[in-house]
Amino acid sequence: MTSVLLTGPTRGLGRATALALAAHPSRPDLLLVGRPGAALAEIAGEARALGASVHEIGADLARLSDVRAAAATVRDLVESGKVRPLGALVANAGVMSADTRQASADGHELTFAVNHLAHAQLIGDLLDVFQAPARIVLLGSNTYHANFWRRLLGVPAAQWRDPVEIARPAVGDANPGMKASGVAYSNAKLAVLYYAHELQRHTGPGINVAVFEPGWMPGTSLGRGTPPAAQAIGRGIARLPGVATPERSGPVLASMALDERWAHLRDGAFVVRDQVAEVRPIARDRQRESRLWAATRELLDQA
């Protein structure tokens, strides 16, 4: 019997995951961390209707003070016995900013801030709260490298540089455009892989770290900052056979947090759709991983 923390539970993949967790036979306590408001209350109500014990924790992940407060709330709930021990954290929340000049409340490029820095803060604050055996599941994406289809669709691969530079918003009067936005997203998802590998080196033996890639999922709220025409195209593509959907991928993500099938995964093992896959050589780099860990600490300490 355990508790599961899920970020970004109100839309798309996060919502489907929250409902799958609520309906899971093990009946975990749910800690839903998301923007406060009607959407968070609604998904919490739906999860309760499925029989789950749910705690809503309002937090804007683009604001590190909110993330720290959320971690403190989780700690209080666990240590007071109001929820069962923390056994899994699913770092689902994400954003793809349409303008890389846009900064988080702490001055970091928004895509990198939400996809990486917020979860690094949350996990770091809670590492000593987990009760082994525990799992941390991060959300990755294959966009970190280019293949035929991504080149055809104009999806840019990561262009890695020092993490402090990646975290710096673009400057200038003009929006750098969707290519820059795509690079920022791919960089953030490459950072997730690097962080997963390094995080495993810093955790105790009873905490396993894995990364989930749900598959290409156009038309979800991830792209809500993109132009309306691009969102309409995404919704159309989402209807094609074989394209991933929240309804198919959410239960897999919930399963990674709870089911025995995935209990052995660690060291940032990469699950694509529902199978373990090898990452490209670029996604394993001990020097980059170590530097990301140090730079992340620098960036978080400044906020």
pLDDT tens digits, residue range 205-262?
899 999 999 998 765 555 444 445 444 444 454 455 467 899 999 999 999 999 999 9
Residue 249: what pLDDT?
Answer: 96
| The amino acid at 74 | V
Between CA 222 and CA 199 the distance in angstroms is 25
Helix (H, G, I), strand (E, B) or coil at 141: coil
What number of CA atoms fall less than 13 Å from residue 51's CA on the CB side? 8
Stretch 54-65: mean pLDDT: 98
Residue 152: what pLDDT?
Answer: 81
Residue 230: what pLDDT?
Answer: 45
**Displacement of CA 244 from its chain's centroid (Å):** 17
Residue 219: what pLDDT?
Answer: 59
Residue 15, judged by CB atoms within 10 A of its CB (0-12, 13-18, 19+), counts as buried
Q: Where do the domains of the chain lie, and which CATH numbers do they carry? A: 3-302 (3.40.50.720)
pLDDT in tens, 103-156: 999 999 999 999 999 999 999 999 999 999 999 999 999 999 988 777 887 889
pLDDT in tens, 191-206: 999 999 999 999 988 9
Per-position b or e across 31-50, b if 16+ CB within 10 A of its CB: bbbbbeeeebeebbeebeeb
Name which residue leads in pLDDT, 148 or 100: 100
Stretch 82-95: mean pLDDT: 98
Stretch 62-91: mean pLDDT: 98
242 to 231, 257, 261: CA distances (angstroms): 19, 24, 24
Who's near 89: CB < 8 A, 6+ residues apart?
Answer: 4, 5, 122, 123, 126, 130, 134, 135, 136, 137
187, 62, 188: which is closest to 121 by C-alpha?
62
In the numeric block, which tokens belong to residue 105? 């409340």
DSSP 157: P
In the numeric block, which tokens belong to residue 267? 């060291």
The 8 Å CB, 24+ separation contacts for 170-175 are 170/99, 170/100, 170/101, 170/109, 171/101, 172/101, 175/98, 175/99, 175/101
Residue 33: what pLDDT?
Answer: 98
| Alpha-carbon torsion (229, 116, 126, 90), positive or negative | positive
Q: Is the pTM of this model over 0.85?
A: yes
Stretch 83-91: mean pLDDT: 98
Between CA 3 and CA 54 the distance in angstroms is 10
Residue 239: what pLDDT?
Answer: 52
Residue 222: what pLDDT?
Answer: 56
